[in-house]
Amino acid sequence: AQSVSQHNHHVILSEAASLELGCNYSYGGTVNLFWYVQYPGQHLQLLLKYFSGDPLVKGIKGFEAEFIKSKFSFNLRKPSVQWSDTAEYFCAVLMDTGRRALTFGSGTRLQVQP
């Protein structure tokens, strides 16, 4: 079955540290890739997305992600995190299967300490 794996469940960083969150998926067909952020008590917001073209995509709030097709990965990065980045981050994959539903990873809780 298709799946999405986020290996970091809880990450604690100090402000100004660099961030990289891993995301791997298992599906051999065409995919669209997303990172969503969920701030405490809020709904999911789209950070960035990859459809095609340049595998390095830039999103809002200084985040970027790189699609490496050979590794089935779509890791999220930010050079310097801020306290306001404290949130839960979800990787999601849209596969070209029948119901075209987003498949989500289990999420990574990021805690940034001032």
Q: Of 15-23, 61-69, 76-84, 90-98, which part binds another protein (CB under 8 A)?
A: 90-98
* Residue 4 · residue 94 · CB < 8 Å: no
Q: Minimum distance between the CB of residue 15 and another protein, rounded to whole angstroms?
A: 26
Instruction: Tell whether residue 107 is a contact of another protein (CB under 8 A).
Output: yes
Q: Of 19-27, 60-68, 73-81, 102-110, which part binds another protein (CB under 8 A)?
A: 102-110
One residue of 14, 30, 42, 80 binding another protein per CB under 8 A: 42
One residue of 29, 54, 70, 99 binding another protein per CB under 8 A: 99
φ and ψ at 61, to 5 degrees?
Answer: 60, 30
E-only strand ranges, 1-114: 3-5, 10-14, 19-21, 24-26, 31-38, 45-50, 56-58, 64-68, 73-78, 87-95, 102-104, 108-113
